[in-house]
Amino acid sequence: MLDIKIIRENPQEVARKLGRRNQKYDLSEILQWDMERRKVVAELDALRERRNKISQEVGKLKREKLQVLPQLQKELDSNKSGINERELFVNSIEQRIEDALLRIPNMPDENIADGKSPQDNREVKRFGTVPQFSFKPKQHTEIGEKLGILDFETAAKLSGSRFALLKGDGCVLERALINFMLDVHRSRGYSEVMPPYLVSAQSMCGTGQLPKFEEELFKCSEDNLYLIPTAEVPITNMHRGDILEEKDLPKKYVAYTPCFRREAGSYGKDTKGLIRNHQFNKVEIVKFSKPADSMAELELLLNDAEEVLRLLEIPYRVVELCAGDLGFSSAKTYDIEVWMPSENNWREISSCSNFMDFQARRMDIKLRYNDKKKDFVHTLNGSGVAVGRAFAAILENFQTQDGSVIIPKVLIPYTKFEKIEFKEKNLFK
C-alpha cells in the first residue's frame, strides 16, 4: 500500500510513476477524501479539547458541591454529540481511503526500463547450453504419459481440466525435487517453515491478493478462508503487526507448499500439461530486509533461486521486467525462464521480486533500528522454484530418443535411480 502522505505531498510525481505501468491513475478523489478527513479530524481534536476543559470545570463544581450551570451541561451534551458524529464520519472516510489505496499498485523502481509487455523485458544473463537433439524433441506431456508417470486423463476425471496426476517414478521425481530445493535453500541460510494452506482474508490482503484479485483465488466461503496461491502469503504474514529488530535482519524463510490458482485470466493458454495448473507444488523463499539493503538482497535472492537450476543443469535465462509487466505489489522483478525444447522457447519458472515497503505497510511490519528509530521493513520473495515446471523442464531437456529420461546427477541421491526408462508396460491402456 502506498503512503497517503507521499500521495498528498506530490500527487503528480506519484501519478507519473504509476503511469509507467501503462495505466492512468486518478488520485484526485483520494486527495479530496484525505482533505475532508484532515479537516474533520482538526474539528474533532478541537471538540475533544473543549470537552476536556468543560469536564474539568464540571468536576470541580461537583467536588465543591456547587451547582453545575445548565449551559455547561448543555454544551457538554452538544459537544458529545458533535464528537460522535465526527468520529463516525472519520471512520467511514478512512475506510473509504484505505479501500482505494488497497487497489493501487506499487510504484515501479526508477532504475527499471519502461515498457508495455513482456517483449520489452531486458535479458540480463543466461546459463547453460541449449541441448541439441538428433530427433524432434517431444513435449513433457507426451513423454510423461508414455513413461507412465503423468496421467492427465484420470486427473480430469477426478477434478476437471488443469490438474495433473503423478504416478510411480513421477511421484519420486516430484518429491526428490522438493527435498532437493529445500536442502539447497537451507544450506544458504533460509529457515524452513511449513505453514497452513488455508489463510484469512486479512492475510490475502496483506500481500496484495485482495481485494483486487479475488477472482484468481479459491475460497472456502463457509469458513471465509482462502487456499493459498503461493507460500508468500502465509510466510510474509507470519510477521504481521510485528516490530523486527535491526540486528535480526535480514530474516530468510523457505517453505514447500501446494499452491492453488484459478488461472481466471488464462483461458485457452496451456490447458494441458504442468505449466499452468489449478494446483501445483512450489518451493518459496522470502526475505525481510532493511530498506537500505533490499536491492542488494534481491540480487542475492535471485542468485539463490538460480542455484537450484545451476545444480540441476537446466538451461535458463534471467530477464528484468519492464515497468509495464510488473506484478501488482512489486517495485522490481526478475523472471527466471527455463528452456523448453519442444517449444523452442523459454518458460518462466521463478519470479524474484522486491516489494519494498508496499506489503509491510499493509501488514504493519516495522523495523526498529539500534538507535530506536522505527521504519517499515522491505519484503522480498521468489520461487525457489516451481516444482511442476522444473519437472517438465527435466523431462524435455533430459529426454532420449527412445523416450526415456535421464535424471540430473544432483537428484540421483534423492531418487535412487539414474533414469526413468520407456517400457511398453508403462503405457496407459
* DSSP string for 220-265: ETTTTEEE-SSTHHHHHHTTTT-EEEGGGPSEEEEEEEEEE---TT
Active site residue 404: no
Active site residue 103: no
**What pLDDT score does 429 carry?**
37
- All structural domains of the chain, each given as residue ranges with its CATH number in brackets, are 4-101 (1.10.287.40), 118-426 (3.30.930.10)
pLDDT band at residue 424 under the 50/70/90 scheme: low
- In whole angstroms, give the CA distance from residue 153 to residue 166: 11
- In whole angstroms, give the CA distance from residue 216 to residue 267: 12
Nearest to 40 by CA among 96, 2, 102: 96
* Annotated catalytic residue within 351, 353, 383, 396: 351
Element (DSSP H or E) covering residue 304: helix 294-312
Task: Report whether pLDDT(68) > 80.
Answer: no
Residue 235 near residue 193 (C-beta atoms within 8 A): yes
Nearest to 191 by CA among 282, 283, 285: 285
* Annotated catalytic residue within 50, 51, 262, 276: 276
**What pLDDT score does 256 carry?**
98
Q: Average pLDDT of 328-347?
A: 98
Mean pLDDT over the full length of the chain: 95
Backbone angles phi, psi at 142, to 5 degrees: -65, -45
Residue 392 near residue 275 (C-beta atoms within 8 A): yes
Backbone angles phi, psi at 197, to 5 degrees: -95, -10
Q: Which residues contact 226 (CB under 8 A, 6 or more apart)?
A: 198, 199, 200, 201, 203, 204, 209, 217, 218, 219, 220
**38-42, 76-80, 129-133, 243-247 — which is least confidently predicted?**
76-80
**What pLDDT score does 70 carry?**
83
pLDDT band at residue 66 under the 50/70/90 scheme: confident
Task: Report whether pLDDT(188) > 80.
Answer: yes
* Annotated catalytic residue within 37, 86, 162, 389: 389
pLDDT band at residue 399 under the 50/70/90 scheme: very high
| pLDDT tens, position by position, 270-304 | 778 999 999 999 999 999 999 999 999 999 999 99
Active site residue 192: no
pLDDT band at residue 427 under the 50/70/90 scheme: very low
Residue 336 near residue 318 (C-beta atoms within 8 A): yes
Query: With pLDDT > 90 as the criterion, what percentage of the chain qualifies?
Result: 89
Please, what's the b/e burial string for 156-188 (b: 16 or more CB within 10 A of its CB; e: otherwise)? eeeeeebbbbbeebbebbbbbbbebbbebbeeb
Residue recorded with cell 542455484: 307
In angstroms, what is the C-alpha Rg of the chain? Answer: 27
Please, what's the b/e burial string for 34-44 (b: 16 or more CB within 10 A of its CB; e: otherwise)? beebeebbebb
Q: Average pLDDT of 346-360?
A: 98
- In whole angstroms, give the CA distance from residue 203 to residue 216: 15
- In whole angstroms, give the CA distance from residue 350 to residue 389: 9
**What pLDDT score does 428 carry?**
44
**What pLDDT score does 426 carry?**
47
Q: Average pLDDT of 373-378?
A: 98
Q: Average pLDDT of 17-42?
A: 97
Residue 383: count other Cβ atoms within 10 Å of its Cβ: 26
Active site residue 348: yes
Specify the 3-state DSSP secondary structure of 32. helix
Nearest to 391 by CA among 138, 187, 141, 186: 141
**53-57, 360-364, 415-419 — which is least confidently predicted?**
53-57
Q: What is the pTM of this model?
A: 0.93
**What pLDDT score does 310 carry?**
98
Residue 16: count other Cβ atoms within 10 Å of its Cβ: 12
Task: Report whether pLDDT(5) > 50.
Answer: yes
| pLDDT tens, position by position, 131-178 | 999 999 999 999 999 999 999 999 999 999 999 999 999 999 999 999
Active site residue 96: no
* Annotated catalytic residue within 21, 162, 261, 362: 261
Is-cis flag, bond preceding 70, omega within 30? no
